[in-house]
């Protein structure tokens, strides 16, 4: 009778999860009350828990690697970008032969081939291409994004999916936790968001670093830097020539290519050097150079929070981690507070203050919605219901024919448009999947409407 020696591959596979079993199959002093030590916990991670990773760039590659090696067996990843040569120094799931291919598809293929217990499903699309039915299938969502607009959009989507009981309380089964990570050079942050319960992205919008803006007079008349030439094309030339008939999309290679060519022409006109395709992307999308070590630390922090939320083996972070390794290593955690007047999660109309409705134009209101730290909208469209009960489109920028028809309203005062004190406007914008309500508030009772 022959004795077969154990399969070395199976032995290695079983040993791979020993560390996780020590956490998931034993009670400990820091376990949550609802934690139950069992071998079923690891099985849940490997078979039933479904995670969505948004972004497969520097942070996303680290997240996919960490989550796959932590035992999660069912991952989905969304990314609309393709791989460039400059990505290879830190996005380690890609190779030179992958240049020009989908980040999501290449990352999924690499993880699937390297970690046999994990199956990654790629989606080479925008997050806006999916509806709430798609997002409802996941237990948790973890973000590795470089776009504030995208963060605000997915934040709004998760809030819009909340269901409420008859007494107004949130149905806890409708909550999908979001773990968000972000890096900027040697700085980074990780946060846990329970939609409807904790501070959301909009509650702390002012924590994001201010965008770099160049004086209009400089970029129009006396450009000195390659960035000035790019901003000129982005701000002035794009609207003037409207090459594609739609707003500039920093994620569209055709749009970026057009901006690059025009910026290069302007740079040559003023004897300015340094305009490159990559710089154009950076200026248009406000990209900050990434540092691989920062990505690794923040991804590890995010993955740990995903693990704690999925298993209840320990309390999750409450709720915002800051990290800085510019001079040594410095990190701290604090609880970001939920804002009672939050644009997204407060469920109350937002007030827009108007000094004089007879001199304030609709364009002034739109500018306030874009420039205000509280709103920070990008390209809002506005509708309202007039006194006769009819709906009126005040301005819509996303549909060319309607934009042309409503453009004349921009220069009209609120009085001329027939808008009243306390009137509610419905505002849509790329920063949110759902509309928000703003309420006009006219200062002073002595103002007479024309």
Q: What are the catalytic residues? A: 217
Task: Spell out the SS3 assignment of the chain.
Answer: CCCCCCCHHHHHHHHHCHHHHHHHCCCCCCCCCCCCCCCHHHHHHHHHCEEEEECCCHHHHHHHHHHHHCCCCEEEEECCCECCHHHHHCCCCCCHHHCCCEHHHHHHHHHHHHCCCCEEEEECCCHHHCCHHHHCCCCEEEEECCCHHHHHHHHHHHHHCCCECCCCCECHHHCCCEEEEEEEECEEEEEEECCCCCCCCHHHHHHCCCCCCCCHHHHHHCCCCHHHHHHHHHHHHHHHHCCCCCCCCCCCHHHHHHHHHHHHHHHHHCCCCCCCHHHHHHHHHCCCCECHHHHHHHHHHHHHHHHHHHHCCCCCCCCEEEEECCCCCEEEEECCCCCCCCCCCCCCCEEEEECCCCCCEHHHHHHHHHHCCCCCCCCCEEEEECCCCCEEEEECCCCHHHHHHHHHHHHCECCCCCCCCCCEEEEECCCCCCCEEEEEEECCCCCCCC
Query: Please, how many CA atoms are within 13 Å of residue 126, restricted to the half-sphere of its CB?
Result: 13
H helix or E strand, kind and range, residue 119: strand 119-123
Nearest-10 crossing angle of helices 103-114, 58-69? 20
Q: How many CB atoms lie within 10 A of CB 197?
A: 15
Q: How far is the C-alpha of 401 from the C-alpha of 416, rounded, in Å?
A: 23
End-to-end CA distance of the chain: 103
């Amino acid at each position: 009778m022959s004795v077969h020696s154990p399969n070395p591959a199976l032995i290695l596979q079983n040993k791979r999860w020993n560390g996780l079993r020590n956490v998931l199959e034993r009670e400990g002093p820091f376990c949550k009350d609802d934690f139950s030590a069992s071998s079923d916990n690891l099985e849940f991670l490997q078979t039933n828990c479904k995670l969505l990773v948004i972004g497969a760039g520097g942070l996303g590659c680290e997240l996919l690697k960490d989550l796959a090696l932590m035992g999660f067996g069912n991952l989905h990843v969304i990314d609309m970008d393709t791989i460039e040569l400059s990505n290879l120094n830190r996005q380690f799931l890609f190779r030179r032969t992958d240049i020009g291919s989908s980040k999501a598809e290449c990352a999924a293929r690499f993880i699937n081939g390297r970690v046999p217990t994990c199956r990654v499903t790629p989606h080479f699309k925008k997050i806006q291409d999916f509806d709430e039915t798609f997002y409802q299938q996941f237990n948790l969502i973890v973000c590795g994004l470089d776009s504030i607009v995208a963060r605000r959009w997915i934040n709004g989507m998760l809030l819009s999916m909340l269901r409420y009981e008859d007494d107004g309380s949130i149905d806890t089964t409708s909550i999908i936790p979001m773990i968000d990570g972000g890096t900027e050079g040697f700085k980074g942050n990780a946060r846990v968001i329970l939609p409807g319960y904790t501070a959301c992205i909009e509650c702390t919008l002012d924590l994001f670093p201010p965008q770099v803006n160049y004086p209009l007079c400089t970029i129009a008349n006396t450009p000195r830097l390659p960035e000035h030439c790019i901003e000129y094309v982005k701000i002035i030339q794009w609207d003037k020539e409207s090459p594609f008939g739609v707003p500039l999309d920093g994620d569209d290679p055709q749009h970026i290519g057009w901006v690059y060519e025009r910026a290069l022409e302007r740079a040559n006109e003023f004897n300015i050097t340094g305009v490159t395709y990559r710089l154009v992307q950076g200026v248009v999308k406000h990209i900050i150079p990434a540092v691989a070590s920062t990505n690794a630390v923040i991804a590890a922090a995010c993955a740990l929070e995903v693990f704690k939320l999925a298993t209840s083996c320990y309390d999750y972070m409450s709720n915002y981690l800051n990290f800085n390794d510019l001079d040594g290593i410095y990190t701290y955690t604090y609880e970001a507070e939920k804002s009672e007047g939050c644009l997204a999660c407060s469920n109350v109309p937002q007030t827009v203050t108007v000094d004089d409705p007879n001199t304030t134009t609709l364009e002034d209101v739109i500018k306030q919605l874009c420039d205000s730290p509280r709103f920070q909208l990008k390209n809002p469209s506005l509708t309202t219901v007039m006194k006769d009960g009819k709906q009126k489109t005040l301005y819509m920028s996303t549909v060319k024919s309607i934009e042309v028809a409503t453009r004349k309203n921009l220069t009209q005062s609120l009085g001329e448009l027939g808008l009243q004190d306390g009137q509610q406007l419905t505002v849509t914008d790329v920063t949110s999947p759902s509309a928000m309500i703003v309420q006009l508030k006219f200062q002073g009772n002595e103002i007479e409407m024309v």
